[in-house]
C-alpha cells in the first residue's frame, strides 16, 4: 500500500517552495519507510531550490532528520519498525575500492532508495541528498538509517544527519584534534559552532572562535570556545597567532567557504599544523598561495566532506554524549517550525539569524 503524505517541494528554480502531496511507495528490497519526526533546515536545501546543485526538479527537500522506522522491505535486518533512527546520506556499499581500503567515508557508491517517491500526478521527485525529509514520511535505503538512543529528542538527534556532524567531524575525524591542542575555527555558523564543540570533546586546550557576527561568537563561547575574535574588527590571523603564543593553531577549521577565509585559515596555522576546509567553495572560486609558504609551513591541507563520518560509529556516540550532558546539541536549535515555515527559515538562514531552524512533524 502506497501512502500519501505532505512534503515540501521545490518545483522550479528559485520559486518559493510549496507543500504538496507526496506518494510514498512501500519499501522494496533493502529499503525503509521512515516516519519523520524532525528535520533541520540546511544550506544545501536552499542550494537545491536555487538550482545550484542539479537541474532535476522537482525536489523533495530536507535531509537532516530523525524519525521512526515504519516499515522495511525484503532483506532488511539492521533496522526494524519502531526503531528510532537518524538519517544519513552516506550509506556505504562495503564493496568499492574506498570501502575495501578501509576508507568508507570516500565510498563511491553510497546507497539511496531505488524506487522514486512521486507527486500525486506520478511525477518522480528528486529527494535532497537522497533523503527528502521535509515530509511526514520518506523512503530511503535501509543503510541510511542509523539507530540511536530513543531518549534523545528528535529535534536534536536529526541535527547529526548533516551540519552538526560535518562540524564535529571536521574537528575530530578530519582534523584529528587531540588533547591539549590549540584550535581555531573560522566561521561559527551551525557547522563552525559544531567544530568548536568537537574540539572541546577532543580535549583541545585553546579554542579560538572567529566570526564577523557577535551573536555567533556568543554561541561559540557557550559550546566551548576559550577565546573569540571579531574578524570585522581585527585581523584574525594576527589575533589567532597572538592567542597561541605567537605560533598559530595546531588545527584550523575553515567553515565559511570563501577564498579570503581559507587564506586566513592557512596562515593562522602553526608550522606543521592541519588546515581543514569544511566550507564548500563555489565552482568559480580560486585561491593563489605562494608555493614557498605551502612548502615551508608543512603540515596538512585537508577537506572534510560530511565530517569524514561513519554514521554507525559516530551518531550513537554523539547521542550518548548529548544524553550525558557532555555535548549541548540543544544550542544548535534556534527555533522549531512546522512544514509551512521552511521558506521563511531559508530567509532567516540567509540573514544569519539562526544556527538551525528545525521542522517538527
Task: Report yes or no: 305 and 296 within 8 Å, Cβ to Cβ.
Answer: no
Report helix, strand or coil for 64.
strand
Under the binding rule (CB under 6 A), the answer on residue 163 touching ligand APR is yes
Cβ within 8 Å of residue 45, ≥6 positions away? 61, 62, 63, 128, 134, 342, 346
Under the binding rule (CB under 6 A), the answer on residue 255 touching ligand APR is yes
Q: Which of 93, 116, 123, 213 binds ligand APR (CB under 6 A)?
A: 213
Under the binding rule (CB under 6 A), the answer on residue 176 touching ligand APR is no
Q: Which of 166, 276, 309, 329 binds ligand APR (CB under 6 A)?
A: 166
Contact characters 52-81, ligand APR, x per CB under 6 A: ------------------------------
Pick between residue 145 and residue 162 the one whose CB is nearest to ligand APR: 162
In the complex, minimum distance from the CB of residue 261 to ligand APR, in angstroms, rounded to a whole number:
5
**Looking only at residues 272 through 311 of this chain, which bind ligand APR when binding is defined by CB under 6 A?**
278-280
Pick between residue 109 and residue 238 the one whose CB is nearest to Zn ion: 109
Question: What's the CA gap between 219 and 41, in Å, rounded?
Answer: 18
Pick between residue 72 and residue 197 the one whose CB is nearest to ligand APR: 197
Beta-carbon-side half-sphere exposure of residue 179 (alpha carbons within 13 Å):
0
Under the binding rule (CB under 6 A), the answer on residue 104 touching ligand APR is no
Pick between residue 145 and residue 185 the one whose CB is nearest to ligand APR: 185
Q: Which of 39, 135, 162, 329 binds Zn ion (CB under 5 A)?
A: 162
Q: Residue 235: is it exposed, middle or buried by C-beta count within 10 angstroms (0-12/13-18/19+)?
A: middle
Pick between residue 104 and residue 163 the one whose CB is nearest to ligand APR: 163
Strands 182-186 and 206-211 come out as: parallel
Q: Can you read off the three cell numbers belonging to residue 158?
A: 536529526
Whether a cis peptide bond, with omega within 30° of 0, leads into 58 is: yes
Residue 243's binding partner, choosing from Zn ion, ligand APR, none, with beta-carbon cut-off 5 to 8 A by kind? Answer: none
Residue 81's binding partner, choosing from Zn ion, ligand APR, none, with beta-carbon cut-off 5 to 8 A by kind? Answer: none
Beta-carbon-side half-sphere exposure of residue 226 (alpha carbons within 13 Å):
15
**Size of site (CB under 5 A) for Zn ion:** 9
Task: Report the Cα 59 to chain-centroid distance in Å.
Answer: 19
Question: What's the CA gap between 297 and 147, in Å, rounded?
Answer: 42
Under the binding rule (CB under 6 A), the answer on residue 231 touching ligand APR is yes
| Residue bearing cell 518545483 | 11
Among residues 117, 112, 116, 90, the alpha carbon closest in space to that of 103 is found at 90
Interacting residue ranges for ligand APR, rule: CB under 6 A = 43, 163, 166, 186-192, 210-213, 216, 231, 255-257, 261, 278-280, 352
Amino acid at each position: 500500500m502506497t501512502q500519501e503524505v505532505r512534503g515540501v517541494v521545490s518545483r522550479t528554480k528559485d520559486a518559493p517552495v510549496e507543500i504538496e502531496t507526496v506518494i510514498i511507495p512501500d519499501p522494496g528490497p533493502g529499503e525503509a519507510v521512515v516516519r519523520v519526526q524532525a528535520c533541520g533546515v540546511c544550506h544545501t536545501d536552499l542550494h537545491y531550490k536555487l538550482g545550484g546543485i542539479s537541474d532535476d526538479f522537482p525536489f523533495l527537500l530536507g535531509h537532516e532528520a530523525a524519525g521512526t522506522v515504519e516499515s522495511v522491505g525484503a532483506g532488511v535486518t539492521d533496522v526494524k519498525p519502531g526503531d528510532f533512527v537518524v538519517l544519513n546520506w552516506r550509506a556505504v556499499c562495503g564493496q568499492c575500492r574506498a570501502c575495501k581500503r578501509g576508507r568508507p567515508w570516500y565510498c563511491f557508491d553510497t546507497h539511496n532508495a531505488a524506487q522514486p517517491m512521486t507527486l500525486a500526478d506520478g511525477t518522480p521527485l528528486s529527494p535532497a541528498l537522497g533523503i527528502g525529509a521535509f515530509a511526514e514520511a520518506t523512503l530511503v535505503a535501509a543503510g541510511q538509517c542509523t539507530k540511536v538512543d530513543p531518549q534523545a529528542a528528535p529535534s536534536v538527534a536529526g541535527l547529526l544527519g548533516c551540519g552538526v556532524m560535518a562540524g564535529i567531524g571536521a574537528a575530530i575525524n578530519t582534523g584529528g584534534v587531540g588533547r591539549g591542542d590549540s584550535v581555531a575555527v573560522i566561521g561559527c555558523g551551525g557547522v563552525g559552532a559544531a567544530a568548536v564543540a568537537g574540539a572541546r570533546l577532543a580535549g583541545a586546550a585553546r579554542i579560538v572562535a572567529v566570526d564577523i557576527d557577535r551573536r555567533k561568537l556568543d554561541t561559540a563561547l557557550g559550546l566551548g570556545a576559550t577565546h573569540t575574535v571579531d574578524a570585522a574588527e581585527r585581523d584574525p590571523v594576527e589575533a589567532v597567532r597572538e592567542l597561541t603564543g605567537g605560533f598559530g593553531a595546531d588545527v584550523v577549521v575553515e567553515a565559511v567557504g570563501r577564498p579570503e577565509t581559507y587564506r586566513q585559515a592557512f596562515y593562522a596555522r602553526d608550522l606543521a599544523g592541519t588546515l581543514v576546509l569544511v566550507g564548500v567553495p563555489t565552482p568559480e572560486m580560486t585561491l593563489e598561495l605562494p608555493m614557498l609558504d605551502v612548502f615551508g609551513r608543512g603540515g596538512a591541507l585537508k577537506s572534510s566532506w560530511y565530517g569524514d563520518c561513519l554514521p554507525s560509529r559516530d551518531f550513537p556516540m554523539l547521542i550518548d554524549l548529548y544524553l550525558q550532558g557532555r555535548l549541548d546539541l540543544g544550542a544548535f536549535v534556534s527555533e522549531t517550525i512546522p512544514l509551512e515555515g521552511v521558506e521563511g527559515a531559508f530567509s532567516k538562514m540567509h540573514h544569519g539569524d539562526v544556527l538551525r531552524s528545525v521542522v517538527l512533524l
